[in-house]
Amino acid sequence: QFVESDDDEELLFNIPFTGNVKLKGVIVMGEDDGTHPAEMRLFKNIPHMSFDDAAREPDQTFSLNRDPAGELEYPTKIARFSNVCHLSIHFPKNFGAETTKIFYIGLKGEWTEAHRHEVTICNYEASANPADHKLEQITPQTHFIS
């Protein structure tokens, strides 16, 4: 089984994670012909990325070699991919065919549970309500020194 592009050689994968991932490497398998992708562009933390968004600067770009056996691992810049909750992989071109075929994408890294903050409901007073701020009566005392 494989994924094949529709009209041209471009393919885009959006991969959401259920936690935070420290991405260390990527493996891409294709056929040993012109349909194998020739370039891979990685984008982190852009949910619902589209082909229009692919025009922006990627977090990392790789020139790919034909790898029908999945033996080549492309290492990522770990400092840049240390806290990924969504990964987008864009394949802009291949080795000359009209469409691109991908049989396997492998991701190597470490997963940790996401620490998400719940929504906090806060009330702010525009002006203080004196009834909310009860104070004991303060009686001034005078001290005389003789």
Tens-place pLDDT, residues 88-144: 999 999 999 999 999 999 999 999 987 766 666 766 666 767 777 666 666 566 666
pLDDT, tens only, 22-58: 999 999 999 999 999 999 999 999 999 999 999 999 9
The structural domains of the chain, ordered by start, are 1-111 (2.60.120.470)
List the one residue out of 95, 91, 98 whose CA is nearest residue 33: 95
| Cβ(25)–Cβ(76) below 8 Å | yes
Q: Other C-beta atoms within 10 Å of 94: how many?
A: 27
